[in-house]
Structure 1
Amino acid sequence: MSKIAAASPSRSPSQKKFLNKSSNLTAYAAWDVDGRVVTMETQFKELQNMLNTTLAQRKGEDEALEQAKRRVSDLEENRRKLDERNEQLKDDLDVAREEKRQLQHDMEKQRWEHARAVDDIERRHRETTDDLSRQHRTAVDNLTRELGQLKDQETKEHQQRLDALTRHYQQELEDERLRRDREVQEVRTRMSNEYHDMDMALQRKDREVQEMRVDANNTQAELDREKALRNNLQASLAELSASNTTLEAKINSLKSHIEFLESDSKAQSDSFSSMEARLQDALRVADEARQKLIKEETERRVLFNKYQELKGNIRVMCRVRPALDGSEGEEARISFPDDKTSAEIVLAGPEERSSLGAVSRKNYPFEFDRVFTPEKQNEEIFDEISQLVQSALDGYNVCIFCYGQTGSGKTYTMSSDDGMIPRATHMIYDTMTKLKEKSWEYTMEGSFVEVYNEDLHDLLTPTDRNSSDGKAKKLEIRHDEARKQTIIANCKSVQLNSAASVEKILREAQSNRSVAATKANERSSRSHSVFILKLVGENLATGERCEGTLNLVDLAGSERLKHSQAEGDRMKETQNINKSLSCLGDVIEALGRGTGHVPYRNSKLTHLLQYSLGGNSKTLMFVMVSPLETHLKETLTSLRFATKVHNTHIGTAKATKRIKSADS
């Protein structure tokens, strides 16, 4: 609406001074009527102008008011239309809300029905899978046991027959050889004596011939004078000829005897050849038996690996450590409902009080490949992992690691006097000795490292001996993509020739490992330790070569800063430990999803164990559980992580094998 500026009224003329009874003026206008008329006319004109101006202003204001009224009318109409539209939208919204509520109700109903159907299917599938697995394990165990019994029985019987034949033929051969040696010696002695006699006779005859020749020469010289002696000389020559004939006959007789002896020696040689042929047949049978054993060993490795693949290349087992004494605190409520397969564990959660005051506990069930109760010893636990140690001897990458909160028994399980590491090395040496009968020769070397504050340290070389200047050499992780093996540069590797050498490096590594006291544990491991065994085997008969790696990992305990109350260096250690364990969980989760990228490099621990966690390995995880009520939250966290690992599939492992070339 346009604004009209109001005109300012004209200023009133100044009032004239008039005379009255009260005035005291010396100069006054008196009664000037004309002047006053003129003044009034002037004022009237001014008033008329003001009235005209006011009327013009009022007209403009009336027009503006009409325009404003029309604008208000338009706005009222728009408002009415908007109100109608709003009411319509409200109705539509109510309808949509009702449809949404109905759809949500239907969706919840379908979701509930689908969940119930899925649970039924999963339960039936799990029951079917368990039945098939048990049947298959039973069949495989029976076949393996029967095969082992038949193989042992056949090997023992064949070895006994072979030993008996070998001893018999060797005895006969030795007796025949001694007898023939005696006969040959006697013949040689007789022949030597006869040859000596014949030589003496020939020498005598030679001397006689020489003398006769001298006489003949003398006779020839005196031929003219002694012709009478010619007949005598001829007679002597005739006698000499007869003697020579006799000697020749004797020589021929000796030659015949020699030929007879030579023919007898040939018979002996034929007998020796027959004995040698029989011995070669026995050796051939022994070699065929040895080849059969080698073939059966190869078939055993193939069947054993298939059996391990059926169990899964990544397995999870749970161990509950026993309570040390009553001073540790109240024990948690832990039950083991599955007595047949020992694969389930149930934890009772913390007490919860309802609004009515009722106290209840929620149960948390978990299922793994095997659950060990507190009464189980290391010997029974090692029986479960011994099959994976055999896989390492067969040329596979194997990783066994312990996970759990601090103080749950990880180091005791792995590195105690009868822990997994000493038992694994003893088993390896025993198996290596047995495999020598099947032409397998093994070498073993070990290294021991720790991951401390995301840095790699060599536990077999203390810092003050790492280099000439006392500074620690930096360890570098290098991966061989072709052979799927990990190499740690600047890390000390020790040849292990006996179980005693393994125990020695275990003591040395234990003394160099980083430990410290916290509120949660008086002697808490502040680093992840990794014991690496490289096993190289070669079959001298077939030229086959295999290279396996056994990684035994003792992870540092996960802990909450609030519970451990760590400060300073201990707090930094705890943060790095929890970070690396979180990265381990991320790697396991990525492997379970089957995504292309797996974040191995987010942590030194996962980078080191890349080929032991990926698809080219056999992995076993021990989740260690504390029996105490105060550790219940950490226990639930550990078991949930273990469940995530248990549901992960990492593919099929491949052995590192090759056949040795002829020129090598």
Structure 2
Amino acid sequence: MAGMTSGMTNSRSGLPQPGTIASKTSSLSHTTRARSATQAPEPSRSGTGSLPPSRPGTSMGRVHTRTNSHASSTLTRSASTASRTTRTNFSSTVGPGSRPPSHAPRPHTSLAGTRKPNGHSITRPATSLDTHEEEDFAASILGKRKGAEWDHATREKTMEEFFNAFVSRVSQAGQESFGLKETVELYKSRVSELETTRKELTDTNLSLRVELETTKGRLDAAEAALKDAKRDHEIAMDDVERQQRAEIETVRQESRQQLQALDNQHQDELRELRRHFEQQINDEKALRFQEINQITSQTALDTQRSLLELERKDREIAKLQQNLQAVREDLERERKANHDLRQNLDTASCNSVTLESSVRALKARIEFLESGREEQSQAFERLNQQMNDALAETEATREKLRKEETLRRKLHNQVQELKGNIRVFCRVRPSLESEVAETAQIEYPDQSDECKEICLLGPEERSALGTVTRKNNSFTFDRVFGPSTQNAEVFEEISQLVQSALDGYNVCIFCYGQTGSGKTYTMSSLDGMIPRAVHQIYQTAQSLEEKGWRYTMEGNFVEVYNENLNDLLGKAEELDKKKHEIRHDMQRCKTTITDITTVRLESPEMVESMLKRAAANRSVAATKANERSSRSHSVFILKLLGENHITGERSEGTLNLVDLAGSERLSHSQATGERLKETQNINRSLSCLGDVIAALGQGKEGGHIPYRNSKLTYLLQFSLGGNSKTLMFVMCSPLQAHLAETLTSLKFATKVHNTHIGTAKRQTRVRDV
């Protein structure tokens, strides 16, 4: 407000401009109004002489200039001086002069009169000296004129206007005083109500204090009673303890006496029994010595007779051996003579047959030459036509056979796709004779039908009420093999996948399961899946030769050990030293490994020697779970390159037979040191394999498949994706101690069984002509 008042003052006198009081806001507080009502009559007490001289009403709205008359300047200066010296509320607020008649100003309160001046107080108006000089200068030019301020009528009119304004302001101040009185009455009633409320609160507080003192007294009494009860209880407990100690000491002494008596009685009985048994032992020893002497003498006689009989038998054997040697020599001579006779007979028979055919040919030629030329020509044309028909029929038959082979491959692939491009077989190994642990309760509900289900009775679980229950875990796979199943029956189920590899598809067969569940036996034993697959491939390749197919087979055997690749067909001293890299040809979907031994397989016997060599180089170690646990993943890679020289068709198939390392829990295997590192790498790679299969099962087009998270999955990238056929063997142990690991393996196999990896693609191309 001080800023507003300062902004609206006259530039010379520092008084407020007309109309500024009326433009003040009506939001003044009741306190300000009360003070105004109290101090409003102060101007009337100062008397008429205290009113400052005023300027004409017409001079309120205009700015004083230096061109005014000398009298007007003098009056203005005297009015400013009087206003500054008297400092009444009315003059400080309203100032000399009157307001325009259109405004109804209200009287200024005494608050403004009691205020201290601010830092930007009203500046002192300029003196009339400059005005006089200016007016003298103007008078010298225009002539001196008498100002209107000396006109009595004008001054009287001005005073009347000022008086009327003052009366109206006093009236307005009275009205405001009446409003403030009503406000004071309201505040008084409110104060009385608050005083009544305070008295009530005081009474309530007093009563609550009385209750608090009463409660404190009761609490002190209760605490005293509690202390007395505690002291009485402690005294009683001390008495009871002393009484119990006395009774315990009495019972202890009685027990010692009874124990001493029983010990003495026992010692007497023991001495009596020892004496009795010693007597019996001495008698038994004497009897046994007599029997031993008799047996010894009898044995000596029997031994002597046996030696004599043995010498006689030796002589007879030597004689018989001599006779046998003579008979063998005679038999050998007879066999040689018989062989010579058979050779002569065969030679004679061949000569006889040759002569007979020559005779028949000569006879036919003679007859043909003797017949007429026309008959010979007709016979020749007829034979030529028959030969051409036979050749055409043979060629048609061969073409039909080739088409049927192509159709067979398509139908075979469709059957495999209907069965699923990823299949899961479950096999439970039999219990070994060296295993004395309890076997788990495993059932095969549909063993007589399709044999696709397996049920395991879970471990005992105790509920909160103390009841013991066992959960029945049921799993379904493409095929379940019981403990009595042989490798031959298992291979019958996977032989169709081996045929798919010959047809040009990527096939991957891997064994998964805990350590000691029979994975290596299933894959790499003498009658395992690897030897049987190679034998089938050779037999099928030979049968396809008459249809124009020629196959070339190459094999690699690698292991993934601690996320490093080792060549199992290389030199043993180079293991863990050579660095092998995996490289993929994304266009041809082929995988190669650098600096690895590749063996061209000419016969099944070469596969057996290769398996023995790889088994000798594979990393194995003993753990708490298995005496000979495979510490690496072994991968047998068989590449089949086929070419049909008739149709020009080529096929490139790959068969990956994988024996995974045993999955085991660290709490069960108790591996430490190097074994701990191996176990961690094994479990990490198996987890990555599960992640890859799960990502393939989502079937998102262009989705990320985490092949690179593990060397195993990166190596099998083209054998696990959509252009391959995959078979998983989940191997299970029948022991109850391995039930938790068995359930974990079966749950993982169920996840794989519910995965669909898309349609496989055949790797074929037609030879350029």
Q: TM-score range by the shorter chain?
A: 0.5 to 0.7
> How far is 1:433 from its partner?
1.4
- 2:410 paired residue number: 302
Contact 1:448 1:530 in 2 (8 A): yes
Shift of 1:401: 0.1
Q: Deviations over 1:352-404 (max 9, x none)?
A: 12344332101111111111111111111111100100100111000000000
Match of 1:284 among 392, 398, 423: 392
The SS at the match of 1:348 is strand
Instruction: Tell me how far apart the structure 2 counterparts of residues 374 and 500 of structure 1 sit (CA, whole Å).
Output: 29
- Report the alpha carbon displacement of residue 269 of structure 1 after superposing the two structures with TM: 6.2
State the match for 1:615 in structure 2: 722
Match of 2:444 in 1: 336
Q: Tell me if structure 1 keeps the 8 A contact 2:569–2:614.
A: yes
Measure how far apart 1:453 and its partner are: 0.4
The aligned length equals 414
Q: 1:183 to 1:322 in 2, by over 3 A?
A: closer
TM-score (norm 2): 0.51
Structure 1 residue 373 corresponds to structure 2 residue 478: no
Q: Are the equivalent residues in 2 in contact too, given 1:444–1:536 (CA < 8 A)?
A: yes
Structure 2 Cα separation of the partners of residues 180 and 521 of structure 1: 80
1:535 is aligned to 640
The one-character-per-residue Cα deviations of 1:47-69 (angstroms, maximum 9, x if unpaired) are xxxxxxxxxxxxxxxxxxx9xxx
Q: Is the contact made by 1:444 and 1:533 (CA closer than 8 Å) also made in structure 2? A: yes
CA deviation map 1:515-539 (0-9, x unaligned): 1111110110000000001111122
> 3-state DSSP class of the match of 2:489?
helix
- The answer to whether residue 757 in structure 2 is matched with residue 650 in structure 1 is yes
Residues 361-510 of structure 1: pairs in structure 2 closer than 5 A: 361-464=470-573, 472-510=577-615
- The partner residue of 1:520 within 625, 631, 639 is 625
**Residue equivalent to 2:712:** 605
Larger Rg over CA atoms: 2
1:580 aligns with 2:685: yes
1:328/1:628 contact within 8 Å kept: no
Return the letter of the residue paired with 2:402: I
Q: 1:639 to 1:283 in 2, by over 3 A?
A: same
C-alpha separation in 1, matches of 2:381 and 2:599 = 52
CA separation in 2, counterparts of 1:646 and 1:282?
53
Structure 1 residue 280, shift from structure 2 partner: 2.2
Q: How far did residue 462 of structure 1 move?
A: 2.0
**Corresponding residue number in structure 2 for 1:234:** none
Greater shift, 520-529 or 594-603, is seen at: 594-603
Query: Partner amino acid for 1:406?
Result: T
> Offset of 1:288 from its aligned partner?
1.2
| Shift in alpha-carbon separation, 1:270–1:537, aligned structure 2, 3 A | same
On the 8 A contact 1:351/1:360 being kept in 2, the answer is: yes
CA–CA distance in structure 1, aligned partners of residues 465 and 391 of structure 2:
88
TM-score (norm 1): 0.59
1:586: Cα distance to partner? 0.8
5+ residue gaps in structure 2? 1-186, 195-356
Residue 748 of structure 2: which of 630, 638, 641 is its match?
641
User: Judging changes above 3 Å, is the alpha-carbon distance between structure 1 residues 474 and 341 closer, same or farther for their aligned structure 2 residues?
Assistant: same
> Whole-Å Cα distance in 1 between the matches of residues 631 and 408 of structure 2?
42
**Matched residue of 1:529: which SS?**
strand
Instruction: Specify every segment of 5 or more residues in structure 1 that has no aligned partner in the other structure, as ranges.
Output: 1-65, 74-172, 187-260
> In structure 1, what is the Cα distance between the partners aligned to 2:545 and 2:442?
47
- What does 1:540-555 align with in structure 2 at a 5 Å threshold? 540-555=645-660
1:410 and 1:179 map into 2 onto residues whose CA distance is 71
Contact 1:486 1:608 in 2 (8 A): yes
Matched-pair contact (CA < 8 Å) for 2:556–2:569 = yes
Separation in 1, partners of 2:649, 2:358: 38
CA distance in 2, matches of 1:355, 1:401: 42
SS of equivalent to 1:504: helix
Equivalent-residue separation in structure 2 for 1:327 and 1:537 (angstroms): 47
For 1:180 and 1:357, the matched residues in 2 are separated by 104
Is contact 1:399-1:618 (8 Å) kept?
Answer: yes
In 2: Cα distance, 1:264 partner to 1:472 partner: 86
* CA-atom RMSD in angstroms: 2.6
Aligned partners of 1:626 and 1:635 also within 8 Å: yes
Whether the 8 Å CA contact 1:180–1:268 is kept in 2: the answer is no
Alpha carbons 1:463, 1:472 under 8 Å: kept: no
Aligned-pair distance for 1:465?
5.7
Distance 2:554 2:358 in 1: 46
Distance 1:423-1:600 versus aligned 2 partners, 3 A rule:
same
Q: What SS is found at the alignment partner of 1:444?
A: strand
- Counterparts in 2 of 1:478 and 1:266: CA distance versus 1, 3 Å: farther
Instruction: Give the Cα–Cα distance (whole angstroms) in 2 for the partners of residues 563 and 592 of structure 1.
Output: 31
Matched, 1:311 2:419: yes
Which residue is 1:275 aligned to?
Answer: 383
The separation in 2 between residues aligned to 1:597 and 1:178, in whole angstroms, is 81
Q: 1:317 to 1:183 in 2, by over 3 A?
A: closer
Q: Provide the rounded CA distance (Å) in 2 between the counterparts of 1:567 and 1:355.
A: 37
Structure 1 residues 459 and 266, CA gap change in structure 2 (3 angstroms) = farther
Hey, what's the Cα distance between the residues in 2 that align with 1:344 and 1:321? Answer: 16
Distance (Å, rounded) in 1 between the aligned partners of 2:385 and 2:607: 48
SS at match of 1:327: coil
Paired position in structure 2 for 1:630: 737
| Equivalent-residue separation in structure 1 for 2:616 and 2:436 (angstroms) | 27
Paired residue secondary structure (1:578): helix
- Say if 1:444 and 1:175 are closer, same or farther in 2 by CA, change over 3 A: farther
How big is the shift at 1:563? 1.1
**Which whole-Å CA distance do the structure 1 matches of 2:359 and 2:383 have between them?**
12
Contact 2:477/2:750 (8 A) holds in 1: yes
Indicate if the aligned counterparts of 1:442 and 1:538 stay in contact, CA closer than 8 A.
yes
Letter in 2 for 1:567: T
Residue identity in the other structure for 1:474 = K
Correspondence list, 1:189-338, <5 A = 268=376, 271-325=379-433, 327-338=435-446
Taking structure 1 as reference, are residues 564 and 660 closer, same or farther at Cα in structure 2, changes over 3 Å only?
same
Q: Please give the alpha-carbon distance, in whole angstroms, between the structure 2 residues aligned to 1:592 and 1:355.
A: 39
What's 2:17 paired with?
A: none
* Alignment partner, residue 159 of structure 1: none
Give the C-alpha shift of residue 274 in structure 1: 3.9
Q: Judging changes above 3 Å, is the alpha-carbon distance between structure 1 residues 273 and 331 closer, same or farther for their aligned structure 2 residues?
A: same
Q: Which residue identity lines up with residue 372 of structure 1 in the other structure?
A: F
Change (3 A) 1:183 1:378: closer
Aligned to 1:216: none
Identical aligned pairs, as a percentage? 66
Which residue identity is paired with 2:545?
K
Separation in 2 of the partners of 1:536 and 1:276?
Answer: 40
